[in-house]
Amino acid sequence: MIRATDEWVTFERHFQQIIQLSAKTVGQNRLVYSPSWVKAQAALIQFGQQAGLTAMVDHYGNVYLDLPGEDDHVIATGSHMDTVRNGGKFDGLYGVLGGLQAITMLKTRFGAPRHTLRLISFSEEEGSRFNTTFSGSKYYALHQSVGPLTDQNGISFEQARSQAVEQLQTISNIVVKRPALPISFTELHIEQGPRLINTHAAVGLVSGIVGQRRWSITVHGVSNHAGTTPMNDRHDALQAAVTIIYQLNGLARHLSPNLAFTVGQLTVSPNTSNVIPGTIQFTIDARHADDRLLDQFEQLIGETLNRQADPQIKCASKRYGKDLPATFDSDLLAQNKQLAQQLSLTSQIMASGAGHDSYGSKLFSVD
């Protein structure tokens, strides 16, 4: 491992300063536009200004720290500052402070670069306060705005945004601006799964983000008395749903061991111990790097639902999410692989199973 002592001390100090903002809560709590989120973005601006970088903030609260180069091309890195409720220490923040450290180290060693180097700390990626995800990177890269949403306390996105961002825009020497897009964007992120630990690899080289589809399945049967309804006279929605899930699990495993298949949500109605369930609703989340395989699985879902022998059991399926797989830039991937080798870091090429700013904003296809 490489360690430039002074810079690691600085990284550690920055890191501790931000995570201490959530010291009084369980886990990290920097919901977008909350007081701790404002303090974190303000601290980051201060870190950047202390390191001699140009600090910018846009109307969504995305923070940009630039080391200006000789030409207009921008090479960017970064991640998001917000967290889920009770989040982990590294999700988002690691990529923000890691990017800042990388730019600072390059500045110290090599001075002014040819291309501008930019650290981006996106305002929001998690979707934990408002029912929207990637709002920061989408505002930056796609110029997309958020609709009229409110949080669970009834505070509108617009009200929360303007109050929070105003505090950042009044910091001294800050430039209020949404800058031009970079020619490349690299995001450092903690893995949210066990692959690297299981293979003892130091870093993952991310080839893309898996495609993801989500369905809501409804199984309607006939609710009835659990004691007086004979077994051969039942139209038990739960038993039908259980059979469907059991079969789909087998089909998913048979289709590909890499097809991630999850039934995460399931509700029973009326959900009373002595009443045969009349309606079951459940979700399916399926992910795979190959979209054709997700097509096949979607067909298998339909066939499984249609295979009901009991005409009084009625199944309906509604797909409410479809994200195509993303393939990241192969040149950057090859460069990163080479870098890992030069640094003697064991690595593994892998697809990310989770969404990230790189994906939500389509920053991966900007080059």
Task: Count Cα neighbours of 131 within 13 Å in the Cβ-side half-sphere.
Answer: 7
The 10 Å Cβ neighbour count of residue 120 is: 31
**CA 188, 192, 197, 198 torsion-angle sign:** negative
* Residue 239 in the binding site for a copy of itself (CB under 8 A): yes
* Binding segment (CB under 8 A) for a copy of itself, from list 57-65, 137-145, 210-218, 289-297: 210-218
Residue positions counted in the chain: 367
**CA 330, 331, 336, 337 torsion-angle sign:** positive
Closest Cα partner for 10 from 41, 66, 48, 40? 48
Taking CB under 8 A as the criterion, the residue among 86, 170, 258, 338 binding a copy of itself is: 258
Pairwise CA distance, residues 218 & 267, whole Å: 10
Q: Which residues contact 5 (CB under 8 A, 6 or more apart)?
A: none
- Count the residues of the shown chain that bind a copy of itself, applying the rule CB under 8 A: 55
Pairwise CA distance, residues 60 & 297, whole Å: 38
Name the amino acid, one letter, at 114: R
Taking CB under 8 A as the criterion, the residue among 131, 145, 249, 299 binding a copy of itself is: 249
The footprint of a copy of itself on residues 172-201 (CB under 8 A) is 191-195, 198
* Residue 210 in the binding site for a copy of itself (CB under 8 A): yes
Pairwise CA distance, residues 1 & 353, whole Å: 27
Pairwise CA distance, residues 148 & 221, whole Å: 38
* Residue 263 in the binding site for a copy of itself (CB under 8 A): yes
Taking CB under 8 A as the criterion, the residue among 143, 231, 309, 342 binding a copy of itself is: 231
Taking CB under 8 A as the criterion, the residue among 264, 306, 309, 344 binding a copy of itself is: 264
The CA radius of gyration of the chain, in Å to the nearest whole number, is: 24
* Residue 86 in the binding site for a copy of itself (CB under 8 A): no
29: its two tokens? 């709590």
Contact 94, 188 (CB under 8 A): yes
Taking CB under 8 A as the criterion, the residue among 246, 343, 349, 367 binding a copy of itself is: 246
* Residue 253 in the binding site for a copy of itself (CB under 8 A): yes
* Residue 311 in the binding site for a copy of itself (CB under 8 A): no
Residue 182 preceded by cis peptide, ω within 30: no
Give the three-state DSSP class for 236.
Answer: coil
* Residue 232 in the binding site for a copy of itself (CB under 8 A): yes
Taking CB under 8 A as the criterion, the residue among 214, 305, 347, 360 binding a copy of itself is: 214
* Binding segment (CB under 8 A) for a copy of itself, from list 8-16, 50-58, 99-107, 230-238: 230-238
* Comparison of 62 and 212: residue with beta carbon closer to a copy of itself: 212
To the nearest whole angstrom, how small is the minimum distance from the Cβ of residue 257 to a copy of itself? 6
Taking CB under 8 A as the criterion, the residue among 149, 181, 275, 333 binding a copy of itself is: 275
41: its two tokens? 């973005």
* Residue 230 in the binding site for a copy of itself (CB under 8 A): yes
* Comparison of 184 and 352: residue with beta carbon closer to a copy of itself: 352
DSSP per-residue string spanning 322-353? EE--EE--HHHHHHHHHHHHHTT--EEEEEES
To the nearest whole angstrom, how small is the minimum distance from the Cβ of residue 193 to a copy of itself? 3
Residues 279-298, one symbol each (x = binds a copy of itself by CB under 8 A, - = not), give: ----x-x-x-----------
* Binding segment (CB under 8 A) for a copy of itself, from list 5-13, 56-64, 151-159, 270-278: 270-278
Taking CB under 8 A as the criterion, the residue among 86, 145, 159, 262 binding a copy of itself is: 262
* Comparison of 67 and 217: residue with beta carbon closer to a copy of itself: 217
Contact 286, 217 (CB under 8 A): no
* Binding segment (CB under 8 A) for a copy of itself, from list 20-28, 105-113, 177-185, 247-255: 247-255
Q: Which residues contact 140 (CB under 8 A, 6 or more apart)?
A: 58, 60, 62, 120, 122, 178, 181, 361
Q: Which residues bind a copy of itself (CB under 8 A)?
A: 191-195, 198, 210, 212, 214, 224-233, 236, 238-239, 242-243, 245-246, 249, 252-253, 257-268, 271-277, 283, 285, 287, 352-355
